[in-house]
Structure 1
Amino acid sequence: MEQQRLKSRTEIPEASKWHLEDIFSDNDQWEKAFADVETLLGEGKKFEGHLTDAPETLIGCFEWMDDLSLQIEEVYTYARMRRDEDNRNALYQALTDRAGTLAVKVSSSASFVVPELLAMPEGRLKEFQATSQKMKLYTQALDDILRKKEHILSSVEEKLLAEVGELAEAPGAIFSMANNADLKFPSINDEAGQSVELTKGNFIQFMESHKQGVRKEAFETLYHTYEKQKNTWAATLNSSVKSDVFFAKARNYPSAIEASIDDDRVPLAVYDSLINTVHEFLPQMHRYVQLRKKALKLNELHMYDIYVPIVPETTMTITYEEAKDMLLDGLKPLGQDYLRILEEGLQKKWIDVYENEGKTSGAYSWGTYSSHPYVLLNHQDTLDSVFTLAHEMGHALHTFFSNREQPHLYAGYKIFVAEVASTLNEALVMEHLLETTKDPNTLAYLINHYLEQFRGTIFRQTMFAEFEKKIHSVVEEGGALTADSLSEIYRDLNAVYYGSEVILDPEIAIEWARIPHFYNAFYVYKYATGFSAATAFARAILDEGEPAVARYLKFLSGGSSDYPIELLRKAGVDMETPVPVRNALQVFTGLVERLETLLA
């Protein structure tokens, strides 16, 4: 029997590929834009040392920076997304590398601006703001700069840090190439006994298999492959953590975590409160694990038994076309304007749908201010892929609304709120399915899937967040991160989060080696806070209707025109209290009870 294999890029139908020509029609146009950025770089010299001269000079400098930002965004995004189509493509490896180097030059060329603004007498800046109507546009941007005064260095030091930025990206770039382009997994036997190449894209599909032997083989094969290079993965992650610590110290922050979350003006108490609140509900997580063990009729529950649906009679094979229809039905509560834009995205090649050889794993939404948003998928015909589509289109429409309503300066929303729109979409699609499903087995299957979203997004991401906090503390206290120490920390956290009912298979200790988000430190906690905020929005939209939709769409249109905590508060969700996280986990508790009843 012929072994199934991944298709090459050329074998993927054109209708299933995104249309990056909406950014640049061809590589020649990209080269011209690259050259334009290089030319524009030099124009900053006329502003350097003169920002205090007149309001017009300062405004001119802001406009130059915004233009430069807009153009480098297009140059870098196009190159990187082309590379993501097939990471082995040498042409787009080179274009991405060139674009990355140019982006560092862009950052360096504008490095004089913030130090000059901070050195400017406060009265002079207030005078500019009082005498120039145009200055009002920059009120929020200036506030965001001035509040960080104690963390901004001299012009010379800022320039040096900007130039070091390219080196700081090396650990993540090395991990990405090793993980996506070079790492190959052996073949395993699927449920039919057919030899199939294991990939990062189909791994979860195998973990959802109802045959424990298939799950076990996929689990062990994946992690044994990572284990063979554990010291390389450890050295790479250690370098990334050291880079985080270096930049935090350079900018006079007490810790790397405080440096990171200050970008969103999020208090450290929000991060710690998330971990503490989740720990409060770990008994409910353990209760869910016990239910899983009982429902699967297993004497021992292993880490490779965590993903399999616990309603074995139900299987859901959902094509991409069916997934799109489910999305449109589930998101009707968001109103006609939202649905119209969603349909446009689904129909007009915003999305790169299927996995192919060399393609970047996972899923994301990206794009540029001048183009529409884009979505990268690695679609499998599973329920999970339906929710991935819902998730990424949530990001895409958040971007669309912010781009439509905000100037480029404020269009890019902060990461803290980025996961709200995506997980709200998932919640509404799930609520629709729970409402319309009559078959008890399918209903139990869906509740199980919803519980998995809670487990994967609140519990698992908070475990990741706690792991990040711990490994950065090790380095900040002068310790060393080795493969063994990373694995020990990671294994111990799994023991706490999953409880005594789960056999901690030794392979799980190396899972940290395959998580790309660890190279963007203190990011993952935002999945958990975003999920909690999204749960609050979903309940309001379903309960109140139009008034809640209006508040939500205004939030989506906010970009970075205010701080993320404030944007959420204005829309009715206060993340500075533990209430949204606690309420979300009470929904989790109710779902566990409901599933216990269905499976009794």
Structure 2
Amino acid sequence: MPEILKERSELDPQFQWDLTPMFESDAAWETALDSLDADIESLAAFAGKLTDAVTIGAYLDASTEVGRKVERLYCYASQRHDEDTRDDKAQSMYARIGSKYVKMAAALSFAQPEILSLPEETLTAIVNDPAVADYKFNLEDLLRGKPHTLTKAEEKLLASFGEVMSAPSEIYHNLEDADLLFDAVKDGSGETVEVTGSNFVPLEMSTDRTLRENAFHSYYKSYREHINTFAASYAGAIKAATAEAAARNYPSSRAMAMAGENVPAEVYDNLVATVRKHIPAMHRYVRLRKKMLGVDALHFYDVYAPLVGDLKKSYSYETAQEMVLKAVAPLGEDYQATVRKAYAERWIDVYPNRGKRGGAYSGGCYDSNPYILLNFSGTLDSVSTLAHEMGHTIHSWRSRQHQPPQYADYTLFVAEVASTVNENLLIEQLLANENDPQTRLYLLNQYLENFKGTVYRQTMFAEFEREAHAMVERGEALNAAALNALYKRLVTDYFGNDMVIDDEIQYEWARIPHFYRPFYVYKYATGYSTAVALSEGILKEGEPAVKRYKEFLSMGGSAYPLDELRHAGVDLATPAPVDAALEKFERILDDAEATLAKLQ
């Protein structure tokens, strides 16, 4: 029988995060909330006065301090809410601070257009004035966007179309999450199994091939029946993005999406070209998967099937803590000391309880510890999740220790680097000490699956996005037939002749929600490739690479992400990091093939 979850009050507090460094109690939080409105309203006094460096500097100081207060209140309420999402009091706290966030955003909305309305020579002088030295990078970044900032009236008009332009995404999510239904199917024993959007991937990971096949056909049957609606909603989302890009004087929707982090198009194009160069290695992995599953024909309902049985090993949380400490040893004693600090000072909420939010994350704010939410279950995946979230946490800790609040948050472009470095160090440490062929093959396959899902698959998605947006920008029809044909061609290229290209797979693009956040998926692939390059350097080069990496972890958002990564030793403006990562993939594949041979 599955274990019955306990109430939070029944768990040992030593395994629950300690939020008192943020607020001593909920009552203290309420007191701080009561004074927030006056702080937010005080910012309105700057409206119409942002014309010189001294006043702008004073405004930035004031808005930063108010932002810190709102963030601390929000983090506390959010984490209290996640402890038990059924708790009415926590729900109320979370809702009330959410409304304050909206109020603050409205109160600050005057500042950016007001500053950017100044003549360019005035802005340049202000950026270089000592009165705003603490915000120089932020202001330079703001000034960089001036050519794409419209007049006040135009910005207001464009903002008024916000709900209309987001309608395609809302239509998509309503269709997929609420309206799309799937036929129940039979498993290998003849038992009826329900198919839903949330259980489809777990069903595809079953060892029951009959269940996998039947679930696959049921799932994509529903997408096929609604494919014209999916195509219309996605085409609408792309047209909205291309229209805004044109209005803002960007050459393309991709250029607009990448401009925020100042990432040039060649980073995207280098990724696609380099992964394309290494597609033969992906085809090798497909052949290995076919061999290990022992099937005459490999179908797409075999893509998630386990190649190696579960290790059947269980790890205590204390053992997991030691495994993570050992894995990050190459990063030095000071890094390990912060991990120990996280353990000792209860930064981590460890076990599931009734009502607790699922999954895992690293959170907190500038004025708190970088907390971790886990739902630890004792599996190797749980150990890996602890390592992953600890990477985020140390990144946040070091950024907040070394940067002022305006530069403490790192960008999404680098957000998954530190977490993946930790995961890679863990799996490398486990492989270095594992001689049992079965266990070793399990670990190697986990490694290969990470590459397949994060580098190859996300790059395939990136190609799809690039071409779909380009088709609209060229004035071509973006209907279901065109999208299906584009996706099927890419799947054929990426998976090769050893994979049966099932007819249903042409509809898979319709189930990818990331496409409604344009040009985001490529960051998964660049981030993973960067993490591979960094972890390889840490293990092979030692202290010089570790020093650069720790400096990168301390930079927060004080520079553009590509410049931060160059400081760490990775230049994504060249194909080299992705090249090196996929050469690593090939070495892991060699190891897996050799290990499999020992078992035969």
What is the match of residue 450 of structure 2? Answer: 453
Contact persistence 2:484–2:507 (CA under 8 A) = yes
Secondary structure of 1:576's aligned partner: coil
* Separation (CA, whole Å) in 2 of partners of 1:228 and 1:78: 45
1:566 aligns with 2:553: no
> Which has the higher mean CA deviation after the structures are superposed, 213-222 or 5-14?
5-14
Tell me the residue number matched to 1:291: 288
| AA in 2 matched with 1:423 | T
Deviation, 1:581, is 0.4
Partner of 1:40: 39
C-alpha separation in 1, matches of 2:26 and 2:580 = 50
**Are 1:315 and 2:311 an aligned pair?**
yes
In the TM superposition, what are the counterparts of 1:315-334 in structure 2 within 5 Å?
315-319=311-315, 321=317, 322-334=319-331
Alignment equivalent of 2:389, drawn from 365, 388, 392:
392
Q: Which moved more, 1:329-338 or 1:95-104?
A: 95-104
- 1:463 is aligned to 460
- What's the CA shift for 1:111? 3.1
Give the alignment partner of residue 277 of structure 1, picking from 274, 281, 291. Answer: 274
C-alpha separation between the residues in 1 aligned to 2:3 and 2:198? 12
Task: Provide the rounded CA distance (Å) in 1 between the counterparts of 2:107 and 2:181.
Answer: 40
The alpha carbon displacement at 1:225 in A equals 7.1
- TM-score, normalization: structure 1? 0.84
Which of 250, 253, 257 aligns to 2:247? It is 250
The answer to whether residue 112 in structure 2 is matched with residue 110 in structure 1 is no
CA contact 2:186–2:211 (8 Å) conserved in 1: yes
Match of 1:549 among 540, 546, 549: 546
Aligned equivalents of 2:505, 2:301: Cα separation in 1 = 9
Contact map agreement 2:128 2:136 (CA 8 A) in 1? no
Among residues 400, 403, 410, which one is paired with 1:403 in the alignment? 400
Distance, in Å, in 2 between the alignment partners of 1:509 and 1:89 is: 44
CA contact (8 A) 2:437 2:596 kept: no
Tell me the alpha carbon deviations over residues 62-83 of structure 1, each in whole angstroms, 9 at most, x when there is no partner: 1122124334434555566666
1:60 — aligned with what?
A: 58
Letter in 2 for 1:448: N
Alignment of 1:574-593 (within 5 A): 574-593=571-590
- Structure 1 pair 232/362, CA: closer, same or farther in 2 (3 Å)? farther
TM-score (norm 2): 0.84
Describe how 1:157-306 pairs up with structure 2 within 5 A. 157-158=154-155, 206-216=203-213, 219=216, 240-306=237-303
**Structure 1 CA distance, aligned partners of 2:116 and 2:155?**
12
Separation in structure 2 between the aligned mates of residue 440 and residue 32 of structure 1, nearest angstrom: 60
Task: Indicate if the aligned counterparts of 1:108 and 1:162 stay in contact, CA closer than 8 A.
Answer: no
CA-to-partner distance for each residue in 1:8-36, whole Å, 9 max, x for gaps?
98699576665667656676666665565
2:527: which partner in 1? 530
Q: Which residue number corresponds to residue 438 of structure 1?
A: 435
Pairwise mapping of residues 366-381 of structure 1 onto structure 2 (< 5 A)?
366-377=363-374
Deviations 1:99-148 (A, max 9, x none): 5565444334333333333343455456556663x522111111111122
Taking the aligned partners of 1:11 and 1:23, their CA distance within structure 2 comes to 21
Matched, 1:419 2:416: yes
Rounded to whole Å, the distance in 2 between the matches of 1:364 and 1:522 is 23
Q: Is the 8 A contact 2:123 2:143 kept in 1?
A: no
- Are 1:202 and 1:380, in contact at CA under 8 Å, matched by a contact in 2? no
Q: Alignment partner of 1:283: what SS? A: helix
SS at match of 2:416: helix
- From 310, 321, 342, the equivalent of 1:345 is 342
What is the DSSP-based 3-state SS (H/G/I as helix, E as strand, rest coil) of the residue aligned with 1:503? coil
Assess, with a 3 A threshold, how the Cα gap between structure 1 residues 201 and 541 changes in structure 2: closer, same or farther: farther
Aligned-pair distance for 1:261?
A: 1.0
State the 1:347 CA deviation: 5.5
- Unaligned 5+ residue runs, structure 1? none
Q: Report the secondary structure of 2:363's partner residue.
A: strand
Out of 7-16 and 295-304, give the one that drifted further. Answer: 7-16
Distance 1:131 1:275, change over 3 A: closer
Change (3 A) 1:139 1:131: closer
RMSD of Structure 2 on Structure 1 (CA): 4.1
Paired-residue identity, %: 44
Q: What residue ranges of structure 2 are gaps of 5+ in the alignment?
A: none
Q: Once the two structures are superposed, what CA deviation does each residue of 1:220-254 show, in whole Å capped at 9, x if it has no partner?
A: 56656777876776666556545433443332212
Q: Is the 1:6–1:356 Cα contact (8 Å) retained in structure 2?
A: no
**Contact 2:315–2:380 under 8 Å retained in 1:** no
